Structure 1
Amino acid sequence: MSTPPFQTNSFIPRREALQRLALLVGSTLSLPVQAALRGEVISVTADRFSAEQQTLIADLADVIIPTTDTPGAKAAGVGEFIEYVMGHCSAASQQEAFRQGLQQTDVLSRSTFGKSFSELTRPQQTDIVTQLTKLQKPFFQSLRELTIVGYFTSETGATQALDYVSIPGRFQGDIPMKAGQKAWAV
């Protein structure tokens, strides 16, 4: 006697769950993020990000998800995630566009405040990121997506920013939440 498909005891891999979640909420993940979540390598670039670019990526991500009562993007290692996705799961044209976005962020920071982005105060960094949302919209959208996916798929994001049950019980689709309660991790 076979088990009906809706009663199997198999689990859904994390990557597939995230892809299904993205479809359920009405959005799709970009191709580089989908490739990263599936563990695919599209291209490996010989050009690594410079130390300054690595710091800039981590600082930008930390402005998007700052440290509050939970660790921020920098503490969760989101910068390394972004570097990996851009270096291994993105086409050369996407990598170049991302590098140009980083360069233009540095130019904007220096022309506005006379310092590199990493040397700015948090309010100044927030001002630059706000300007990026208008001046460099495709770059910012890519950065924001990578930051969010990197953060909430990290151990820090899944266990400290979200509630996490490593071995979930039965499915309960409608559970009332208390005021201020965190959402559940996938």
Structure 2
Amino acid sequence: MNRREAVQRLFLLVGGVLSPPVIAGVMGQVLNTGESVMTTAGQEALIAEVADIIIPTTDTPGAKAAGAEKFIIRVMRDCYVKDDQDKFYAGLAKLDADSKAKFGKGFMDLSIPEKNEMVKLSMTNDKPFFLRMKELTTVGYFTSEIGATQALEYLPIPGRFDGSAPYKPGQKAWAI
């Protein structure tokens, strides 16, 4: 395998992990210079609740504490075209409407087990919305200060490179 082929395979591998708009969002770039959906405080709170079900508070703070919803809203606004934004926010509204239909109350008012059930239903009923929400939540969380320093191992000033450093049992993955 030559160098060019190796680089192409690497880009295919990385491209399958994160979508280009999310990578641009992490880099702080703006891809969408056209119209954007203006989010409401209610939508922002709903995004925070769904993100917190995806990455809940355990022995480390969850997605809501990390402010993942701010990342999600910014990346949707700056890196996705309006049509994709409309689909995302329609999926969010559908999740809330499905919660009202199933439990008689909106997603925000559900108990944790009910929220978990609704998110699991979203995985099958509205898979494109769920996959985008999950991708944005995980990237937003692990690129936040809380995610990088409390959920991952963080070394602000890296030492020497050791490509074969052993992990200790229970050690966190490294933040980059």
Which of 31, 37, 50 is equivalent to 1:42?
Answer: 31
2:158 aligned with 1:165, yes or no? no
Alignment of 1:173-184 (within 5 A): 173-184=163-174
Deviation at 1:24, TM superposition (A): 6.0
2:83 aligned with 1:67, yes or no? no
Work out the CA distance in 2 between the residues paired with 1:106 and 1:60: 10
Work out the CA distance in 1 between the residues paired with 2:100 and 2:24: 34
Match of 2:91 in 1: 101
Deviation at 1:23, TM superposition (A): 6.5
Match of 2:47 in 1: 57
Whether the 8 Å CA contact 1:110–1:116 is kept in 2: the answer is yes
Residue 142 of structure 1 aligns to which amino acid in structure 2?
R
Residue 128 of structure 1 aligns to which amino acid in structure 2?
M
Match of 1:3 in 2: none
Match of 1:85 in 2: 75
Which runs of 5 or more residues in structure 1 are unaligned?
Answer: 1-20
| Number of aligned residue pairs | 166
Q: Deviations over 1:81-133 (max 9, x none)?
A: 00001111111111011011011101111011111101101100000000000
Whether the 8 Å CA contact 2:36–2:81 is kept in 1: the answer is no
Whether the 8 Å CA contact 2:153–2:173 is kept in 1: the answer is yes
Residue 129 of structure 1 aligns to which amino acid in structure 2?
V
Work out the CA distance in 2 between the residues paired with 1:24 and 1:46: 30
Q: Deviations over 1:144-166 (max 9, x none)?
A: 00000000000000000011001
Say what the alpha-carbon RMSD is for the aligned residues. 1.8
TM (norm. structure 1) is 0.84
TM (norm. structure 2) is 0.88
Identity %: 52
Work out the CA distance in 1 between the residues paired with 2:21 and 2:81: 8
